[in-house]
Amino acid sequence: TYPRTWDTVDRKNDAVVCVPHTPDPVLFGIRGESPAAVREARSYVRSEEPACEQVYTTNQGTDAHLLPGAIGELREGRSYLVRGAVAGLPATGPGGHVSFLLEDGGVEVRCMAYEPTRGFRDVVRALVPGDRVAVAGSYKGGSLNLEKLGVSHLAALVRIRPPVCPACARRMTSAGTAKGYKCRVCGGRSREPDVERWERRIRPGWYEVPPVARRHLSRPLVRGVPAWEEDLLQSGRP
């Protein structure tokens, strides 16, 4: 019944999401867009006989917990959507957790993508300094724990190297500050370096953690992005 229901199973990570993992009187819970959608999904589930069941309205999957925030003004224990520029290359730490610094107005905050977010960490690893992003997550212990990430602008990823000598096909070396390049083999010279542009592995847009790592209140992208979140993301364009 996806996308009329969501976060029932995580097929990519081979996990059932709608069943509690702790001793619990709840057998399962199905989240969906309408009573009809969740009733249809429920009809496909085989389980022990429940004592009771009910369809009710909830704020799960709505981003009701997110507040627009600014780096340097975040309060412990609250959840925010914050925009800024990536200030350093992401680093993978012990346990596979990935972090990077986000900067805005000369103030920085550390953003964390923890190991349970699985493939979402590859999106974070693909960021480079200068990328403009908006990040959503809870602020705890001085870090934003990421739930989703929006990219509004990708910085150019280039590598600058000495040029190859056209005469002997050897790579030149620097001839000194502001003096260009010189071939040590034949003495050939060049003023311009080789500029290699690398294709980025991500594109502008929104990225989210997998269902197995999503908080109940977090709005999955299949439900669309609220207008205020998209507006905040786009206002961060250079």
- pLDDT tens for residues 34-46? 999 999 999 999 9
HEC profile of 197-224: ECCCCCCCEEEECCHHHCCCCCCCHHHC
What distance in Å separates the CA atoms of residue 151 and residue 60, rounded to the nearest whole number? 24
Task: Count, in order, helices (H) and strands (E) of the chain.
Answer: 3, 17
Is residue 212 domain-shared with residue 134, that is, in the same domain? yes
Answer with the one of 58, 74, 92 that is the final residue of a domain. Answer: 58
In degrees and rounded to multiples of 5, residue 143 shows phi and psi of -130, 150
Is residue 38 domain-shared with residue 25, that is, in the same domain? yes
Check pLDDT > 90 for residue 237.
no
Token pair, residue 13, equals 């990570």
- pLDDT tens for residues 112-163? 999 999 999 999 999 999 999 999 999 999 999 999 999 999 999 988 999 9
Q: Which of the four pLDDT bands, split at 50, 70 and 90, describes residue 22?
A: confident
Is residue 222 domain-shared with residue 142, that is, in the same domain? yes
**Distances from the Cα of 109 to the Cα of 3, 53, 54, 102, 139, angstroms:** 34, 44, 42, 5, 10
Q: Which pLDDT score, from 0 to 100, does residue 159 have?
A: 86
Distance between alpha carbon 146 and the CA centroid of its chain, in Å? 7
Q: Which pLDDT score, from 0 to 100, does residue 21 have?
A: 86
Number of domains the chain contains: 3
What distance in Å separates the CA atoms of residue 219 and residue 196, rounded to the nearest whole number? 39
Is residue 82 domain-shared with residue 167, that is, in the same domain? no
What distance in Å separates the CA atoms of residue 185 and residue 164, rounded to the nearest whole number? 12
Is residue 35 domain-shared with residue 134, that is, in the same domain? no
Answer with the one of 9, 26, 58 that is the final residue of a domain. Answer: 58
Is residue 119 domain-shared with residue 51, that is, in the same domain? no
The CA dihedral of 211, 217, 220, 221, to the nearest 10 degrees, is -150
Is residue 113 domain-shared with residue 51, that is, in the same domain? no
Beta strands 31-32; 98-104: pairing state: unpaired
Is residue 121 domain-shared with residue 224, that is, in the same domain? yes
Is residue 123 domain-shared with residue 7, that is, in the same domain? no
Check pLDDT > 90 for residue 171.
yes
* Mean pLDDT within 198-223: 97
pTM here is: 0.88
Query: What is the rounded average pLDDT for all residues in the chain?
Result: 95
Q: Which of the four pLDDT bands, split at 50, 70 and 90, describes residue 238?
A: confident
User: What is the residue range of 187's domain?
Assistant: 160-194
Q: Which of 137, 124, 131 is nearest to 92 (CA)?
A: 124
What distance in Å separates the CA atoms of residue 16 and residue 76, rounded to the nearest whole number? 31
